[in-house]
Amino acid sequence: MANSANNKFPKIGLGTYKIAGDTGVIIIKQAIQLGYRMFDTAFVYENEHIIGQAIREAISEGTVSREELTVISKLGPCHHHPDRVEQGCRLSLLRLGLDYIDLYLLHTPVALKYRSDDELKPLDSDGKVELDDELSPLDTWLALEKCVQKGLVRMIGVSNFNRSQLEQILNGGNIRPTVNQVECSLKFHQKELRDYCSNEGIKCMAFTPLGKPKANEMENSFLNLDELQVIAKKYGKTSAQIALRYLVDLNVIPIPKSTNEARLKQNLEALNFELQKEDMHKLDHLVEQKRLMTLNWLTHSKHYPF
Ligand code: A2P
């Protein structure tokens, strides 16, 4: 089975969910100035045009070259049918205004009915999202492989896949998924799935690595835990930097989101130190393990992964 390409990644990327508008362009360009080289978007985020504009401007202003960047996008769940995969991929390329995507992910193992390119969440008469459940993730994967062969994308991978779904791809596909992008943080550190991915040479990329803290509810965030703050103080870092560094030291690639320049910088600086083993062990057990992102609108699918 082939690997999809030279699969070297920056150690941290920027999540862009909800980044929008002209301020979105400014944020992405600030991030490039600060040293971010990997950006994660998706067809369903409806912001590929913003990410693409910022990247194209930064390239034409000479801040960075295309080859230095790793651009990640994801196939929308309504484009899973093998006859629609290339269409979905070409739409993302058009919106990004780029010639190729570095890493293209199957956003979820669950397929939705296609109605039009703009209808992202088709509903049935019961108000549930309308599934295309006869499509297996492997059917879609085999069509994604063709996007690599056509040079539209450099690498392919998956997101929100469980172990048995990864096994199906490894058994039936021709190209090994480069990445499984999943929720991973102090709050849900995914030890079993991480170990499986690591044994199979699949990189684990972490969305929601900070546990999605909300500025007005910081008391509910694990970043606020006294024990975490004690460790942060020991290293002269913030809790967020410890939470990110924990993932980096587990060989996981975090993609934290931020729209604030100081926090963008702070998060990238999680690369400038290492955690001692004893603190890694403490962090393994610090936070009660609970998934935050349950994809609960997809539970009626036989491919629901959790
Ligand atoms: P902001 O955009 O104001 O920086 P996650 O990536 O886990 O989903 O978390 C995203 C949230 O975390 C955003 O609301 C972001 O807010 C906040 N955030 C990002 N970096 C930090 C940080 N270093 N410290 C505290 N909150 C942060």
Which residue has the CA at smallest separation from atom 18 of ligand 1? 258
Return the ligand 1 atom nearest residue 264 CA. 20
Give me the mean pLDDT over the 29-50 stretch.
Answer: 98
Q: Whose CA is nearest to atom 2 of ligand 1?
A: 258
DSSP type of residue 35 = T
Write out the DSSP string of 122-143. Answer: -B-TTSSBPB-TTS-HHHHHHH
Instruction: Express each pLDDT in 190-240 by its tens digit.
Output: 999 999 999 999 999 999 999 999 888 877 899 999 999 999 999 999 999
Separation CA 12–CA 240 (nearest Å): 13
pLDDT of amino acid 3: 65
CA of 39 to the centre of ligand 1 (A): 15
Nearest-atom index, ligand 1, CA of 240: 23
Return the ligand 1 atom nearest residue 15 CA: 6
Rounded Cα gap, residues 185 and 283, in angstroms = 10
Contact between 68 and 37 under an 8 Å Cβ cutoff? The reply is yes
- Ligand 1 pocket, Cβ-based, cut-off 6 angstroms: 15, 208-213, 223, 238, 240, 256-260, 263, 266-267
232 phi/psi in degrees, rounded to 5: -60, -45
Locate 279 and state its tokens.
């603190």
- How many CB atoms sit inside 10 A of residue 57's CB? 14
Catalytic residues: 45
pLDDT at 285: 94
Higher pLDDT, 301 or 220: 301
Q: How far is the CA of 147 from the centre of ligand 1 (A)?
A: 33
Return contacts of 117-122, CB within 8 angstroms, 24+ apart. 117/78, 117/87, 117/91, 119/78, 120/44, 120/46, 120/76, 120/77, 120/78, 121/297, 122/78
Model confidence band, residue 295 (pLDDT cutoffs 50, 70, 90): very high
pLDDT at 220: 83
CA of 79 to the centre of ligand 1 (A): 30
- For residue 45, which of 141, 120, 108 has the smallest C-alpha distance? 120
Position 244 scores a pLDDT of 98
203-207 and 101-106 as β-strands: parallel, antiparallel, unpaired? unpaired
Q: Which atom of ligand 1 is nearest to the CA of 241?
A: 23
* Tens digits of residue pLDDT in 91-108: 999 999 999 999 999 999
Average pLDDT for the chain:
96
| 53 Cα: distance to centroid of ligand 1 (angstroms) | 23
Q: How far is the CA of 171 from the centre of ligand 1 (A)?
A: 38
d(CA 38, CA 72): 7
pLDDT at 166: 98
pTM greater than 0.85: yes
Task: Note the pLDDT tens digit of each residue in 1-29.
Answer: 776 656 789 999 999 999 999 999 999 99
| Contact between residue 182 and residue 162 where contact means Cβ atoms under 8 Å apart | no
Per-residue model confidence (pLDDT) at position 5: 56
Residue with the nearest Cα to atom 26 of ligand 1? 213
